[in-house]
Structure 1
Amino acid sequence: MGNARVRGWIAAGLSAAVIATAGPAAAAPPGGATSSGEQAAQVQPAVGGGVASLGRGPAGQGRVLPETDRFVVEYKQDVPQERRSAALAQAAQASDLPRAKTVRTTGSGEDVVETDTMLSPAEQKDMVAAIEANPAVESAEPDQIVVGALAATPPATPNDTNWNYQWGPRNIGVPNAWWQGTGQGVVIGIADTGQTDHPDLNAKTVPGYDFLSDTYHSRDGNGRDANPQDQGDWSPGRPSWWHGSHVAGIAAAQTNNRAGIAGVAPDAKIQHARVLGADGRGYVSDIADGVMWSAGIPVPGVPRNANPAKVVNLSEAWDSGTCPAVMQNAINRMHAINVPLVVAAGNAAKSANLASPANCGGAIVVGATSYRNQLTGYTNWGPMLDVVAPGGDASSPIWSTVNTGTYSIGRPAYGDLSGTSMAAPHVAGVIAIMKERNPDLGVEAIRNTLRSTGSNVSGYRKVNGAAAARAVARAKPTVHGAIATYYNAHGGAAAMGAPTTWELSTGVGGVVQTFTKNGRATSIYWSHETGAHRVETWKGIGTRYSRLGGPAAFGLPAKDELPTSTAGAYQNFVRPGTTQTTKIIWSAATGAQPVVETSAIGKQWARDGHEAGSGYPTSPEVKTAAGAYQRFRTVKTGEITQYTWTRSTGKVVRTALR
């Protein structure tokens, strides 16, 4: 979406709304006390009353089940697998507790181990002590099961799906921020309950992953897989909130399409990591893996993320006096590669030091404000809060994308929720705009900019999207990694000119960066599957590739453009993660046209000698009710040959037309 178009009116029509009962009112949070912008330097104050003093029950904030059957174990460096298994066996024998078996390894290197029964808090303590007594073990902790961790309160009443009712983005100056950027080229990770089919989200969404490792939480009958579909987070007596879709819409819903709502970062992409399922439950280790994978950090047993996020939103909060080590390790790894994790402060009207992941060092922690520019009565507060943003309340909720389903999947709709869950994606969207201006911006620079440009609300800093975006100088694109290696090996600036974009996600895997010399643009694409290759967009093949849909239609180049033996040229393209290969081939007589080499027609054309046999395609493959056909023209005689594939027979017939 172009910056000049974004100021147009956003029309909407009411589809449906989610209605539920709000939790009880809470005392207003104290104002005034915040720490410096460097969260890493913050020290948690002494906490009185323990974890139980945190919240208002499940309606206010998530909690941790007292029992768990899993533990996260960090072994000392270079401990082999056989010693790890022996350590678990010895721990069970010493503690007279069930033996644990290794389930998987997390993205930060710890082992997740599981017993065959739930253990009480006392038994967990004994198990941890027994495991840590082994000299091969560095540390161990229970893998907590969080319940109702969605940091939102149920919706109040139906609202109109109209930009005029989206007070949140306007309240923090987002429309003025769009003159600075719209999140183009940035992927926002949404670690939440998963994705739903929605017209305001579908075109914005790149492939995600389901990280729920057990079937109870997942509700889809299996464990981890490549389908992050939200199956509903309902529990007995409470319908589904479709929390992940609501959060995603706030951050980056399709905008200026005369329907629905507008996202804070309207040109950013969305990627779902499903980490919470039934009743908003999930293991902390699954949540940690989900946010790391979103950031592009490899996770054992999970395919590499082809479209890494530059900011990840985690709108969850659960009772915990300390940050789980597995969660802290994940945030540390993300921090090291300049990917901020934006988290909800929690909805318990207590110190955020008593809620995870808000009490994890390095996260960007967001509290909630109301339409009246006041802290809401439910928001957590204290020195761990970095900024505040619109979260809404019963009188002024936050409107976004949801689903009509209550205890099953229904239809796309719009509905309202309130909570720090809604405040966090407002901030994630602003960060996406900042990241468009400078993709290398570090986490602490982002934190400091958000705070220094924000306005005062009861001693806390409310985000100002326009001021934060303006404060980030648009950095001159640089070249690095595999694209830099290719660029330098093929003539660099002398051959292709200077970079005019940063590396951008292709949407189908890998990245692309564009260079311009004398008005001619060359794009270098890279993915793990195809390596680095260029498309010269000013030539016939490059122009045709772009006009017919580029990566979305054909995938990425598998080689550079090459000459044919009959005075033409060709280039091969592969769609990552599939077997689809396409050759775009050019001649002076036919121009550039694609041949899908994995189709029946393409295979027969190849058997007949490619362009040297039947000639060059005169158009793309044409679909018909019965199948498809494509015509080819020979260079020497100009003869036209038609290949016709019939679906019923599966055969290709070759016919000479003239």
Structure 2
Amino acid sequence: MAGLPVSPVEKVIVTYKATAAEARSNTAAAGDATAKGSETGESLAFERRLSGGAALVDLGGETSKKDLTEVMNAFRGDPSVASVEPDIRAYAMAVTPDDTEYAKQWDLFEATGGMNVPGAWDKTTGSGVTVAVIDTGYATHSDVAGNVVSGYDFISSSADARDGNGRDNNAKDEGDWNATDGECGAGSKASNSSWHGTHVAGTVAATTNNTKGVAGIAYNAKIQPVRVLGKCGGSSADIADAITWASGGSVPGVPANATPAKVINLSLGGSSATCPSVYQNAINGAVSRGTTVVVAAGNSNANASGFTPANCANIINVASTSREGNRSFYSNFGTSVDVAAPGGETRRATDTPGTVTTPENGILSTLNSGTTTQSAENYKPYQGTSMAAPHIAGLAALLESAKPALTPADIESAIKANARALPGTCTGGCGTGIADATKTVNAVTTTTPGGATFTNAADVTISDNATVSSTIAVSGRSGNASAALKVAVDIKHTWRGDLVVDLVAPDGTVRNLKASSSSDSADNVVATYTVDASSEVANGVWKLQVRDVASGDTGYIDSWSLTF
């Protein structure tokens, strides 16, 4: 316990023998406290009865060690008292990790651009949760190995897989290097192997407090490497099968997944104006099985709506921020982005591509030193929305571990609702801000007396000149709703002035949250409204109703919640 603060004792816990009047009567216990106070010269007062039947006695303020001894001796000398002990303080036992490179992981703890992770470890470290990293596979690394469970290689082309046999049960990263320019299509460049999946895996769940390397965000979670990216990337057909399998679904010709993942990380993507149905169907299936799907927004400094699977529904779409809390210069943006997380900047936008000018501002994680095939393990900083996404996947694992009843929609809503505004700038839209791990974990594990939050994070398309709605079924409440009912709304829509937003109570009563405005050309409705709903019965089906009064701009209800 070395290093814990020493707090003065202000109360004692007195357990009376079962035959004593003080064991049954609060009046008798209060009288005994007063008598012991007179005996010792202290101002003692009975405060309350504890759950085990003991009496909590207030000492009237901070008490010296000598005075405390006198008070306890007075109670111990009473034949009616079974025991007396000080009411001592306890402290969260999570400590700063002893991993040798932890001090360089600004993304976890720095106040400006970090994700406020350490405080979350007091309550959860990801135990019992498997995170599937659908990526390049896994390059053996001693700082991750202890958390790795069996995965699968879904690359169907043996040439692209570089293992000579296409799909198999070995998710080893065989390297994604390209020997010459143009080998992977016009404009492609020769490159070394990235060991990308291993870097992502380390961010999610590197072994922590092992006096080595880096700390993982959900460091007691398990990593399931699922290989889909090889030479020249990977196919949507293979990636869709990997999503299905990783979440516990059935894929023809592939053995069932013995350890289905509750979280999937997709730090990958390609250009597409719409989400391909093969992706959307696989994602919908995964979510229906209770798996949260996290996707990188993309690194083209463009609207994420043109990249997939970032433009698919039922995902958490993650933009990247820098150490200074700005949107990273390369990060995609837009109304489809849900939240941001540290992705770093190892170079400036004006630097020569491929150079590394500020490695200390990247995301440090596990890697391999091989240029083509695997060699010695090492650690290197990378930048990218590929690095931002696993921060959110790690946070999702922390939430799932802390409260297994959470649905993917609950997890998305909690992360978004508890994000903080970027301290820097984000041109184009970075969702609700930078995710805050501690605040989010505390929100899902702390119940406000008499309070509860109900959420719907299913997307609902808003068409021009039309009215749509999203419902929340509230149950288990007693009596009426609150006079300060909180209605948190996240609507993705260009020219938000076109929208009228109403809350409809179970009895049909309509309360306007937002009126239309011809002069409000900003994007998105992200707000929390306070409504006096004390005249409404709490239980029943509540409805968020959105009406688009104009044409030319469309969007969707992303999520909303009611907090009683």
Q: Secondary structure at the match of 2:122?
A: coil
Which residue does the alignment assign to 1:366?
Answer: 318
Superposition map of 1:7-86 within 5 A: 7-12=95-100
Which residue does the alignment assign to 2:519?
Answer: none
Alignment partners' CA distance in 2, 1:469 and 1:313: 19
Which residue does the alignment assign to 1:433?
Answer: 398
Which residue does the alignment assign to 2:157?
Answer: 214
Q: TM-score, normalised by structure 2?
A: 0.56
The Cα of 1:440 is off from its aligned counterpart by 2.7
Please tell me the residue identity of whatever aligns with 2:216: G
Which residue does the alignment assign to 1:325?
Answer: 277
The Cα of 1:217 is off from its aligned counterpart by 1.2
Alignment partners' CA distance in 1, 2:217 and 2:396: 10
Which residue does the alignment assign to 2:137?
Answer: 194
Quick check: 2:248–2:289 contact (8 Å CA) kept in 1? no
Alignment partners' CA distance in 2, 1:246 and 1:372: 22
- Judged with a 3 Å threshold, the aligned counterparts in structure 2 of structure 1 residues 4 and 411 are, in CA distance, closer, same or farther, namely farther
Alignment partners' CA distance in 2, 1:190 and 1:404: 20
The Cα of 1:372 is off from its aligned counterpart by 0.0
The Cα of 1:361 is off from its aligned counterpart by 0.8
Which residue does the alignment assign to 1:231?
Answer: 174
- Judged with a 3 Å threshold, the aligned counterparts in structure 2 of structure 1 residues 222 and 474 are, in CA distance, closer, same or farther, namely farther
The Cα of 1:408 is off from its aligned counterpart by 1.4
1:380 counterpart = 2:332: yes
The Cα of 1:474 is off from its aligned counterpart by 7.5
Which residue does the alignment assign to 1:166?
Answer: 105
Quick check: 1:296–1:309 contact (8 Å CA) kept in 2? yes
1:242 counterpart = 2:210: no
Alignment partners' CA distance in 1, 2:396 and 2:99: 26
Alignment partners' CA distance in 2, 1:219 and 1:428: 28
Which residue does the alignment assign to 1:338?
Answer: 290
Alignment partners' CA distance in 1, 2:96 and 2:436: 21
Which residue does the alignment assign to 2:415?
Answer: 450
Partner of residue 224 from structure 2, selected from 247, 258, 271? 271
Which residue does the alignment assign to 2:372?
Answer: 407
Quick check: 2:151–2:225 contact (8 Å CA) kept in 1? yes
- Judged with a 3 Å threshold, the aligned counterparts in structure 2 of structure 1 residues 463 and 221 are, in CA distance, closer, same or farther, namely same
Partner of residue 353 from structure 1, selected from 305, 313, 326? 305
Deviations 1:258-304 (A, max 9, x none): 0010000010010011011113x111010011111111111111111
Deviations 1:191-233 (A, max 9, x none): 0000111101111000000000011210000111000000011
Deviations 1:506-551 (A, max 9, x none): xxxxxxxxxxxxxxxxxxxxxxxxxxxxxxxxxxxxxxxxxxxxxx
Which residue does the alignment assign to 2:443?
Answer: 471
Which residue does the alignment assign to 1:654?
Answer: none
Q: Secondary structure at the match of 2:294?
A: strand
Quick check: 1:291–1:330 contact (8 Å CA) kept in 2? yes
Alignment partners' CA distance in 2, 1:474 and 1:210: 40
Quick check: 1:437–1:474 contact (8 Å CA) kept in 2? no
Deviations 1:543-565 (A, max 9, x none): xxxxxxxxxxxxxxxxxxxxxxx
- Judged with a 3 Å threshold, the aligned counterparts in structure 2 of structure 1 residues 474 and 284 are, in CA distance, closer, same or farther, namely farther
Deviations 1:406-445 (A, max 9, x none): 0111111111110000000000001101001222311221
Alignment partners' CA distance in 1, 2:280 and 2:94: 38
Deviations 1:140-166 (A, max 9, x none): xxxxxxxxxxxxxxxxxxxxxx11101
Alignment partners' CA distance in 2, 1:6 and 1:210: 36
Alignment partners' CA distance in 1, 2:97 and 2:317: 32
Superposition map of 1:485-504 within 5 A: none
Please tell me the residue identity of whatever aligns with 1:464: D
Please tell me the residue identity of whatever aligns with 1:450: I
Structure 2: gaps (5+ residues): 1-90, 180-189, 347-357, 448-564
Alignment partners' CA distance in 2, 1:407 and 1:168: 29
Deviations 1:9-37 (A, max 9, x none): 4243xxxxxxxxxxxxxxxxxxxxxxxxx
Alignment partners' CA distance in 1, 2:295 and 2:373: 28
Q: Secondary structure at the match of 1:472?
A: helix
Alignment partners' CA distance in 1, 2:216 and 2:435: 16
Which residue does the alignment assign to 1:416?
Answer: 381
Alignment partners' CA distance in 1, 2:156 and 2:405: 33
Which residue does the alignment assign to 1:516?
Answer: none
Moved >6 Å (runs of 4+)? none
Which residue does the alignment assign to 1:565?
Answer: none
Alignment partners' CA distance in 2, 1:470 and 1:286: 38
Please tell me the residue identity of whatever aligns with 1:391: G
Quick check: 1:338–1:443 contact (8 Å CA) kept in 2? yes
Alignment partners' CA distance in 2, 1:338 and 1:206: 19
The Cα of 1:333 is off from its aligned counterpart by 0.7
Alignment partners' CA distance in 1, 2:99 and 2:381: 17
Alignment partners' CA distance in 2, 1:399 and 1:234: 21
Q: Secondary structure at the match of 1:456?
A: coil
Quick check: 1:10–1:261 contact (8 Å CA) kept in 2? no
The Cα of 1:4 is off from its aligned counterpart by 6.3
Alignment partners' CA distance in 2, 1:433 and 1:372: 25
1:316 counterpart = 2:288: no
- Judged with a 3 Å threshold, the aligned counterparts in structure 2 of structure 1 residues 220 and 174 are, in CA distance, closer, same or farther, namely same
Alignment partners' CA distance in 1, 2:122 and 2:194: 33
Please tell me the residue identity of whatever aligns with 2:165: N
Q: Secondary structure at the match of 1:455?
A: coil
Alignment partners' CA distance in 1, 2:282 and 2:446: 29
Which residue does the alignment assign to 1:489?
Answer: none
Alignment partners' CA distance in 2, 1:10 and 1:373: 26
Please tell me the residue identity of whatever aligns with 1:431: A
The Cα of 1:6 is off from its aligned counterpart by 4.5
The Cα of 1:307 is off from its aligned counterpart by 0.6
The Cα of 1:331 is off from its aligned counterpart by 0.7
Structure with the greater relative contact order (CA < 8 A, sep ≥ 6): 1 or 2? 1
Which residue does the alignment assign to 2:42?
Answer: none
Quick check: 1:6–1:255 contact (8 Å CA) kept in 2? no
- Judged with a 3 Å threshold, the aligned counterparts in structure 2 of structure 1 residues 266 and 6 are, in CA distance, closer, same or farther, namely farther
The Cα of 1:169 is off from its aligned counterpart by 1.4
Quick check: 1:193–1:243 contact (8 Å CA) kept in 2? yes
Q: Secondary structure at the match of 1:255?
A: coil
Superposition map of 1:267-306 within 5 A: 267-279=220-232, 281-306=233-258
The Cα of 1:8 is off from its aligned counterpart by 3.6
- Judged with a 3 Å threshold, the aligned counterparts in structure 2 of structure 1 residues 445 and 377 are, in CA distance, closer, same or farther, namely same
Give the root-mean-square deviation of aligned CA atoms. Answer: 1.5
Which residue does the alignment assign to 2:86?
Answer: none
- Judged with a 3 Å threshold, the aligned counterparts in structure 2 of structure 1 residues 474 and 437 are, in CA distance, closer, same or farther, namely farther
- Judged with a 3 Å threshold, the aligned counterparts in structure 2 of structure 1 residues 228 and 5 are, in CA distance, closer, same or farther, namely farther
Quick check: 1:249–1:400 contact (8 Å CA) kept in 2? yes
- Judged with a 3 Å threshold, the aligned counterparts in structure 2 of structure 1 residues 4 and 223 are, in CA distance, closer, same or farther, namely farther
Please tell me the residue identity of whatever aligns with 1:442: T
The Cα of 1:5 is off from its aligned counterpart by 6.2
